[in-house]
């Protein structure tokens, strides 16, 4: 399946929006500290933005252990782009240090040790997926840093100093630790160092603002404490909500299967987005588009289409989005008039004669041949919109399948080509 790597950028916010800070506050859960009536640029982010006569440094951390990102991850990057468009510097920090160390207890799957090469490859994959969101081109708007640059140089004396800025009580009050301690689940001492390392990143890059999900408040606050300790003005925290996934109930996550990947092809992305549950529509518009919220279509079905079109256009361009919309409509209606937006799968990879369930597996529409047989049995498989019922359906020659669309469920399609 080929995936187009769109280069279209999201629309920059208007000058007016920059001036009245709608770009800053849209979709934000919390800004801290926030003394709205203060004139002190240490207490009021709007003052810091207007009174600082240099671009602010806006930090966002990247974990290079999980290179595939989805729309949920994209939310703080969209805010970062808004800061870039207002003239500020995005400082992306690739957390290569801990990725290369892993978890010394060997108990965390997420923190397994990765080689330099894999970390670099993951970081590259990650950054590529961000190309449609961030401004990579305007000089001074983007800085990419690897935190091993400063963390690998810390010695015991400095680490004692960093640790001395916090108490055990503060650390144990942190969400996550508190419950584990109460339930007598072991918390290993080195885990206390992770928030401190993230906080020290803010010192090292002299961050003015750190962006993150609402679950990052503690870590961002640790950064503030450490900056104060080292004599820097403490950063502001700008917290964004956690996105609910396509199932409408749980947070978007690859492992739950309720996600829309940034590298999904246009048709897959469109098909998932046009089925977003009604009660999530407003949040999706607010967090994932720049459309004004007061002029959205009344009809929920029209809203879904507008949302899908807008988001697919951000990642793949207007034309691809329009095409995906057409294809999705024709597939749903059982027509096959225009299938050119459907991702291709080359049958040259398959040995003929071939069973259909094998093709379903080889094309990754199903996880395995046995999964494919289950899907056929369940009636989820269609060939050019005709439901397939024969479990052992086989084809003598690839030519019999050329230009046909093979479909599993509502969102997964491939167009079979030579």
CB of 190 to a second copy, least distance (A): 4
Dist CA 20 CA 320 (whole Å): 34
CB of 24 to a second copy, least distance (A): 34
Dist CA 307 CA 277 (whole Å): 12
Residue 47 has a CB neighbour count (10 Å cut-off) of 16
Dist CA 63 CA 93 (whole Å): 9
CB of 42 to a second copy, least distance (A): 24
Q: Which stretch binds a second copy (CB under 8 A): 103-111, 210-218, 365-373, 380-388?
A: 103-111
Show the binding pattern over residues 190-229: x = contacts a second copy (CB under 8 A), - = does not. Answer: x-xx--xx--------------------------------
CB of 191 to a second copy, least distance (A): 8
CB of 96 to a second copy, least distance (A): 12
Site for a second copy in 132-171 (CB under 8 A): 151-152, 154-157, 159-169, 171
Dist CA 164 CA 230 (whole Å): 12
Compare residues 225 and 286 and give the one whose CB is closer to a second copy.
Answer: 225
Compare residues 185 and 255 and give the one whose CB is closer to a second copy.
Answer: 185
CB of 287 to a second copy, least distance (A): 35
Q: At what angle do helices 193-205 and 217-229 cross, to 10 degrees?
A: 60
Answer yes or no whether residue 21 interacts with a second copy by CB under 8 A.
Answer: no
Q: Which stretch binds a second copy (CB under 8 A): 71-79, 187-195, 232-240, 270-278?
A: 187-195
Compare residues 169 and 231 and give the one whose CB is closer to a second copy.
Answer: 169
Per-residue tokens: 77: 């990057």
Compare residues 58 and 196 and give the one whose CB is closer to a second copy.
Answer: 196
CB of 59 to a second copy, least distance (A): 20
| Pairing label, strands 30-32, 236-240 | antiparallel
Q: Indicate which single residue of 116, 188, 248, 399 sits in contact with a second copy (rule: CB under 8 A).
A: 188
CB-CB contact of 240 with 76 (8 Å): yes
Per-residue tokens: 128: 């590529």
Q: Is 272 helix (H, G, I), strand (E, B) or coil?
A: helix
| Pairing label, strands 209-213, 236-240 | parallel
Per-residue tokens: 79: 């805010």
CA of residue 67 relative to chain centroid, distance: 10
Compare residues 104 and 418 and give the one whose CB is closer to a second copy.
Answer: 104
Dist CA 282 CA 70 (whole Å): 18
Answer yes or no whether residue 105 interacts with a second copy by CB under 8 A.
Answer: yes
CB-CB contact of 50 with 100 (8 Å): no
Answer yes or no whether residue 296 interacts with a second copy by CB under 8 A.
Answer: no
Dist CA 75 CA 244 (whole Å): 12
Q: How many amino acids of this chain bind a second copy (CB under 8 A)?
A: 36
Please indicate if the annotation marks 412 as binding a ligand.
no
**Adjacent-strand bridge partners of 383:** 386, 406
Residue 112 has a CB neighbour count (10 Å cut-off) of 11
Compare residues 184 and 392 and give the one whose CB is closer to a second copy.
Answer: 184
- Residue ranges in contact with a second copy by CB under 8 A: 97, 101, 103-105, 151-152, 154-157, 159-169, 171-172, 177, 181, 184, 186-190, 192-193, 196-197
Annotated binding site: 254
Annotated binding site for ATP: 254
């Amino acid at each position: 399946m080929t995936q187009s790597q769109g280069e279209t950028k999201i629309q920059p916010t208007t000058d007016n929006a920059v001036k009245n800070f709608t770009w800053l506050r849209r979709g934000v859960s919390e800004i801290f500290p926030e003394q709205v009536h203060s004139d002190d640029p240490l207490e009021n982010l709007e003052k810091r933005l207007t009174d600082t006569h240099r671009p602010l440094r806006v930090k966002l951390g990247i974990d290079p252990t999980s290179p595939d990102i989805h729309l949920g991850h994209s939310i703080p990057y969209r805010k970062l782009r808004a800061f870039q468009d207002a003239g500020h510097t995005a400082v992306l920090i690739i957390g290569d240090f801990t990725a290369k160390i892993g978890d010394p207890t060997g108990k965390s799957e997420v923190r397994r040790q990765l080689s330099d090469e894999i970390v670099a490859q993951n970081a590259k994959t990650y950054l590529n997926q961000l190309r449609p969101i961030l401004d990579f081109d305007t000089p001074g708007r983007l800085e990419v840093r690897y935190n091993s640059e400063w963390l690998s140089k810390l010695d015991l004396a400095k680490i004692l100093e960093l640790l001395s800025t916090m108490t055990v009580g503060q650390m144990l009050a942190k969400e996550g630790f508190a419950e584990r301690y109460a339930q007598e689940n072991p918390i290993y001492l080195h885990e206390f160092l992770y928030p401190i390392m993230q906080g020290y990143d803010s010192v090292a890059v002299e961050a003015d603002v750190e962006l993150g999900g609402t679950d990052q408040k503690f870590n961002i606050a640790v950064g503030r404490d450490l900056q104060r300790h080292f004599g820097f003005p403490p950063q502001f925290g700008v917290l964004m909500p956690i996105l609910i996934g396509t199932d409408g109930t749980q947070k978007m996550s690859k492992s739950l299967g309720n996600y829309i990947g940034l590298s999904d092809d246009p048709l897959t992305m469109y098909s998932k987005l046009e089925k977003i549950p009604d009660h999530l529509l407003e949040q999706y518009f607010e967090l994932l588009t720049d459309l004004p919220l007061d002029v959205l279509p009344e009809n929920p079905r029209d809203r879904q289409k507008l949302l899908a079109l807008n988001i697919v256009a951000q990642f793949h361009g207007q034309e691809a989005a329009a095409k995906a919309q057409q294809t999705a409509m024709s597939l749903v209606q059982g027509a096959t008039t225009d299938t050119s937006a459907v991702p291709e799968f080359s049958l040259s990879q398959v040995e003929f004669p071939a069973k259909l369930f094998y093709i379903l597996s080889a094309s990754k529409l199903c996880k395995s041949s046995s999964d494919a047989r289950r899907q056929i049995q369940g009636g989820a498989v269609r060939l050019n919109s005709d439901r397939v019922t024969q479990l052992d359906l086989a084809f003598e020659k690839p030519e019999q399948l050329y230009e046909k669309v093979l479909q599993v469920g509502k969102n997964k399609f491939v167009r079979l080509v030579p």
